[in-house]
Structure 1
Amino acid sequence: MTVTTIIAIYVLVWWVTFFAVLPFGVRSQHESGDFIEGTDPGAPAIHRVWIKVLYTTVISAAIFAAMYFAYVYDLLPLEFLKRISQPPVS
């Protein structure tokens, strides 16, 4: 696996993880009671994006490490993946 492939896969895992982590701990302005005139009541009162970026980086690094470990030690052989992805034989 080339360095470019490793980076591309990590970036994909990072973005998917980021969108999964993004809604954690969000309280809307309506829920918190701190409503600012002219804004959407569903907008977050405090977004804390940098904390979520940090969480995303740690979680995606763990996910990528597990994926890389499975690839290097051939825990999911290509023949097995081909066999389970075929349509059932009737």
Structure 2
Amino acid sequence: MTIVGGIVVFSITWMVVLFMVLPWGVRSQLEDENTEIEPGTVESAPVQPRILRKFAITTLVTALLFLAFWSTLEFDLIDYRALIEN
């Protein structure tokens, strides 16, 4: 795998994992008893979305998935070309 190919695979995987991680632990202003609804916002707006934490989790999970994919390519553990031909 080339460096550009690796960057593309990592980026696409990162985005997919991010969309899976984003809903984790989200509470709306309406659900949270300790928070008043901010004027000018909708009731469903999230309280403390912790986006940097989710970016870190996404990067860690993506790195593990990418490492697994790269190692199968590098060490010929799975022949992906044979899977595509069949």
- TM superposition score normalised by structure 2: 0.87
Higher relative contact order at CA 8 Å, sep ≥6: structure 1 or structure 2?
A: 2
Q: Matched residues in 1 for 2:13 and 2:42: separation? A: 31
Q: Matched residues in 2 for 1:68 and 1:19: separation? A: 22
Q: CA deviation at 1:10?
A: 0.6
Paired-residue identity, %: 34
Structure 1 runs, 4 residues or longer, greater than 6 Å off = none
- TM superposition score normalised by structure 1: 0.84
- Unaligned 5+ segments in structure 1 are 84-90
Q: Matched residues in 1 for 2:85 and 2:30: separation? A: 50
The superposition leaves residues 53-78 of structure 1 with CA deviations (integer Å, 9 ceiling, x where unpaired) of 11011000001111111111223211
> Which residue does the alignment assign to 1:2?
2
Structure showing the higher strand proportion among its residues: 2
Q: Matched residues in 2 for 1:80 and 1:27: separation? A: 43
Structure showing the higher helix proportion among its residues: 1
Aligned residues: 83
- Unaligned 5+ segments in structure 2 are none
